Chain A
C-alpha cells in the first residue's frame, strides 16, 4: 500500500529584502496509514514550515516552494488548484496549532467555530451540525457540552481550548492530523490529558498523525517513527525505539545527552554553540561547527543519506557512517 502522504525533496524558502531564508532544504518523508510520525528539532529548524507547506498555509510571497512534491492520496498538493486545496484543508488533512489561546476566534462561540468546517465540507444544515458538534465535544471530553457549545473562547481554560481545537480538527474525520506543538503552551498535568485524548482518538479513528514537537519525552511516549530535523534538513529518521536506544547522528546523540536524566552526578553533555541562522547555513554539513566528531570532509560536502543496518527504515545523514555502508554494500 502506498503511504498516505509522501514528501519528496521538498524545499521551502522565504524571500526577504535582505536574504533568501531557506527554511526547508530538500526533505523526504513518508507517513503511512494510521501511523504517528514525529518531527523533532529546535526552534528555527524548519519543522513548522514543513507542516505549513503540507497544507499550503504559507503566504506566497514571501514564501515559495523551490522544488519537490507532496503526494497525498496520489495528488500533488503543491500543484492542486486553490479551490481543490480548500476541500483538503480541514477535511482530509487538518491541523492543531501550538497556541490554543490565539488560534480560536474570540468573537464566535465554540459551537460556531466547530460547525464551520462541518457545514462547509459535509453539506449539513446548522441543526444537524449542532448535533454533530455536541458529539464531538463529548468525544474530546469537555464537561457539560450543552453549556460549553454556546460559550466564547475566553470562558474556557487553556486545556479546554486545546480540546476545542482538537474537536475542530477531527470534525470531518481527516485521514491526517497535523499537530504542531499541541501541548507546549499547557501545564504538565493538562499536557498528559491532551496526549491521552489524542492517543485514544487515534485508536478509534485510525487517522495518521504528524506530531511536531521539541519535547523528546512526548516523542518517546506517542510516536511510531521519528524524524530529527536540523537547519532545514532531516538528519536522522528511525522507528522511535531505535532512536532512543541507538542514536547515530551526533546531533541526535547530543540532544539525548543534554537531557537531565536520573543520574544527578553525570554532567550534562551540552552541544556547544547555537543553531545557525537560516539565512547563513554553514557549507558542507550544517551541523559541523557544533559537531564533536567533525572530519575534514564535513566542512566541504553535504553528507549523504545512509541507511543504517540495525533496523529497517533507519537512515542518518552523516559522513561518519559512509565507510561502513560501503563495506556492507
Chain B
C-alpha cells in the first residue's frame, strides 16, 4: 500500500545573516535529511525537544514553507512541484491545528467566519447553506452552535482549540498536522481535546502527524513514533516497541527523563548531561555524541546512517550495526 504522505530527503536550511553589510555566513539546519511515511488513517507521533525541527517538518509537509531540497508526496503527487492553482485544489485535503489557540484565531472574526471562510473559498458551501454546514462542524467538535456569532476572546483555551480543530475539519481533510495541540492547555482540558482528536480520527479515517514534546500524550495517541534530534529523525518505531525497546540512547534518555506519577515503576534512570547544542553549529559526527553516555571515537567523526533493526523499527546510531 502506498503511504498517503511520503516525505523524502527533506531539508530546510534557514540563512542567518551576520549583519547588515555582511554576506550570509551561517545556516541553521532546521530539518536535515528527513524521510518518513504516513499511511492512510495512521497517526504518526513526532517528538523532540524545542528547536529540533519538528514544527518545521510539519509545516513543510503541508507546503506552508518551501524546502531547501527534498520532496513531499501527497497521494503520489509531489506537492512542492505543483503550480499554485493545482496546489490550491489540494489544500483542503491537508490541514493544520496550531499550538497556541490564543494567537491562531483572528480576533475580529466571528466563529462562523473563522470556520466558514475556507469552506466558501473552496466551494464546499455557499451563502445559503453556510450556516448549516458550520453548525455541522461545530457539532462534530462539541461546540454549541449558539456560539456561532461570538468572537474568540469570549472563549476559554479549550474551546478555542475546538474552534481551531473545527476550522481544520471543515474542509474534510485526509491529512491533519497537529502541532502541539494540547501543550497550551490545562491537564483537565487536555484530556477533552485528546479524546476529541481520537474520536474524529476514527470517524473520519484521517492521517495525523501529531507533533508534541509530551511523550505521554504521543504514546497514548500514535500508532508509530518518530524521535527528532537537531533536525534529524534518529529513531522510528511502532509506539509500543519504542516505549519498551528504545534503541537509540537519546530515546532511552528521553523516556527516562519523563516524570511519571508512578516513579517506582519507571525504568533505569539515564540522565543526560549538557544542553541541546545550537543547530547553528551542530557537533560533527553523530549530533548526539557530546551528550551520549555510550559515545565512542567513531561517533565523534562519522555520522551514523539510518538502519532498520526490525520491521518498522529504524535507528540512526552506530551501536546498532
Contact = CB atoms under 8 A, between A and B. Distances in A.
A83 interface: no
Contacts of B157: 274
A254 B188 contact: yes
B220 A260 contact: yes
Interface stretch (B70-78, B113-121, B268-276, B305-313): B268-276
B191 A270 contact: yes
A82 interface: no
Contacts of B273: 193
A157 B260 CA distance: 26
A268 interface: yes
A264 interface: yes
Contacts of B254: 188-189
Nearest to B221: A260
B217 interface: yes
B49 A42 contact: no
A257 B192 CA distance: 12
A160 interface: yes
B189 interface: yes
A265 B13 CA distance: 40
Interface residues of A, number: 41
Nearest to B255: A188
A202 interface: no
Select the residue from A159, A160, A189, A260 with max chain B CB neighbours within 10 A: A189
A43 interface: yes
Interface string A209-228: 00000111111110000000
A43 B263 contact: no
Nearest to B273: A193
Contacts of A195: 259
A159 B275 contact: yes
A300 B262 CA distance: 37
Contacts of A269: 191
B167 to A, nearest CB: 20
Contact of A42 (B187, B192, B198, B257): B187
A220 B261 contact: yes
B49 A268 contact: no
Contact of A270 (B188, B239, B258, B275): B188
Given A42-B187, A217-B260, A270 B219 contact: no
B220 A268 contact: yes
B148 interface: no
B68 interface: no
A192 B186 CA distance: 21
B220 A275 contact: no
Contacts of B219: 260, 264
Interface string B212-229: 010111011100000000
Given A190-B275, A220-B259, A254-B188, A260 B217 contact: yes
B186 A188 contact: no
A191 interface: yes
A189 B49 contact: yes
A269 B191 CA distance: 7
Contacts of B256: 192
Interface in B193-239: 194-195, 198, 213, 215-217, 219-221, 239
Residue of B159, B191, B254, B256 with most partner-chain A CB within 10 A: B191
Given A220-B260, A220-B263, A260-B220, A189 B187 contact: no
Taking chain B's interface residues, is the majority helix, strand, or loop, or is none over half, making it mixed?
A: helix
Contacts of B195: 267-268, 270
A42 B191 CA distance: 13
B289 to A, nearest CB: 15
Residue from B188, B191, B213, B261 having most chain A Cβ neighbours under 10 A: B188
A195 B266 CA distance: 16
Nearest to A191: B257
A216 B187 contact: yes
A259 B216 contact: yes
A261 B189 CA distance: 16
B215 to A, nearest CB: 7
B34 interface: no
A274 B219 CA distance: 25
Contacts of B217: 260
B50 interface: yes
A238 to B, nearest CB: 14
A189 B272 contact: yes
Interface string A31-54: 000000000001100000000000
B190 interface: yes
A275 B191 CA distance: 14
A271 interface: yes
30 contacts: A42-B188, A159-B275, A187-B49, A187-B276, A188-B213, A189-B257, A189-B272, A189-B276, A190-B275, A192-B257, A192-B271, A193-B271, A196-B271, A215-B259, A216-B261, A218-B259, A244-B262, A256-B261, A258-B188, A259-B261, A260-B191, A260-B194, A261-B220, A264-B220, A267-B195, A268-B191, A270-B188, A270-B189, A271-B191, A271-B192
Interface of A: 42-43, 157-160, 187-193, 195-196, 214-221, 244, 254-261, 264, 267-272, 274-275
Given A157-B276, A268-B194, 16 more contacts: A158-B275, A187-B276, A189-B276, A193-B271, A193-B272, A214-B186, A216-B187, A216-B261, A221-B263, A244-B262, A254-B188, A259-B216, A260-B216, A261-B216, A271-B188, A274-B158
Those 4 A-B pairs whose CB atoms lie nearest each other, nearest first = A217-B259, A260-B220, A258-B191, A270-B191
